[in-house]
Amino acid sequence: MIQAQSLTKHYGSKTAVDAVDFVVQPGKVTGFLGPNGAGKSTTMRMIVGLDRPSAGSVIVNGKPYHEHKAPLREVGVLLDATAVHTGRSAYNHLRAMAATHNIPTSRVHEVINLTGLESVARKRAGGFSLGMGQRLGIAAALLGDPATLILDEPVNGLDPEGVQWVRKLTRQLAAEGRTVLLSSHLMSEMALTADHLIVLGRGRVIADASVADIIASAAQNTVRVRTPHTAALATLLAQTDVTITNIEQDVLEISGLTVSEIGECAAAAQISLHELSAVSASLEDAYMKLTQNEVEYRTGDASSPTEAEAAR
């Protein structure tokens, strides 16, 4: 369990994390989302004491991280795949990490097997691909068989098999009752992996709810209708709380009504329908809606900077 209270971090005049409060529960995979620069990595670094909070506090498994007698057995952390000396082999890196906690070498072999690193374990980590580096980072995080895992973008650079493996692994670890905090920018993957989401935007928590609730609250389900009589149907269905968008010449996207309501209405008015299907909102839609005003580094296609400045 991770509990943050008014956790704050300033870098000079910039506030990276702004008085966030959250609890990461055991037994679940908690997804940590947010645009680049939202403060996810900084928050993770503060949890394990690599960065000192400017204000507030965060405790893991009941104590500040540095007060634990066996930190690696409490929390396994993957912050980025470069936390390894490039001149050292994966095996020796893990052995050096294990030695600090008197973790036996047999456990080093276990995590090497678990992460599929057997064939490259004796090679210098500097020559690893991003994916191999990620596997080594995950192996290091698992060394102490910790009750809490913090993984910052673990699937970044992994092949599809690796992505699926991380999904299964994190689900399994959570099912064992562990606390799993996971960040990723892959919304489709997050939708499959996480139970609960904490969304950061510009250093603040902008959502903290289950995946289903976040999708339901932030993005509406729509119904897609294909009919030659779009104008007639649109007029028929028009009422408050119903949004109708003509997305193609003969296709309408309707929100605010169910599939059956639209079907019955069309049948009563004898309007022929060629397609009638529910389009469920994706996590990606919900996320985009949640964070549209929270993006720190936006690409230039939406609006030019001058327009954005003028709008303020």
Partner 1 sequence: MSTVAHPTPPSTARTSFASTGSGLSFTGLLRSESIKLWSLRSTYWTFSLVVVAALGIAVLMSFAMSAGYDPATGAAMGIDTAQMFVIVSTSGLSLGQLIVAVLGVLSISGEYSSGMIKSTFSAVPNRLPALWAKVCVLFGFTFVVGLVSVIGSYLVAIPILGAKDITANLFDVDVILPLLGNVLFLALIAVFAIGIGTIVRSSAGGIATVLGIILLLPTVVGLFSMLVGWVADIVPFMFTVAGSEMITPNTMESWQAFLVVLAWVAVSLGTAALLLKRRDA
Residues forming beta bridges with residue 286, ordered by sequence position: none
* Residue 178 binds partner 1 (CB under 8 A): yes
Taking Cα atoms as reference points, which of 209, 180, 182 lies closest to residue 2? 180
Place of tokens 């680049």: 36
Residues 6+ apart with CB under 8 A from 141: 76, 77, 78, 149, 150, 151
Nearer to partner 1 by C-beta: 107 or 289?
107
* Backbone dihedral angles phi then psi of residue 77, each to the nearest 5 degrees: -135, 135
Q: Classify 36 as helix, strand or coil.
A: coil
Q: Which stretch binds partner 1 (CB under 8 A): 142-150, 185-193, 211-219, 257-265?
A: 142-150
* Residue 65 binds partner 1 (CB under 8 A): yes
Q: Which stretch binds partner 1 (CB under 8 A): 65-73, 199-207, 228-236, 270-278?
A: 65-73
Contact 147, 178 (CB under 8 A): yes
Contact 112, 91 (CB under 8 A): yes
Nearer to partner 1 by C-beta: 89 or 222?
89
Nearer to partner 1 by C-beta: 1 or 295?
1
Q: Which stretch binds partner 1 (CB under 8 A): 49-57, 234-242, 274-282, 304-312?
A: 49-57
Which one of 41, 43, 89, 193 is in contact with partner 1 (CB under 8 A)?
A: 89
Place of tokens 């954005």: 308
Nearer to partner 1 by C-beta: 73 or 109?
73
Strand 29-33 to 196-201 pairing: parallel
Binding site for partner 1 (CB under 8 A): 1, 26-27, 45, 48-52, 61-62, 65-66, 68-75, 77, 79-80, 82-89, 92-93, 95-97, 99-103, 140, 144-147, 176-178
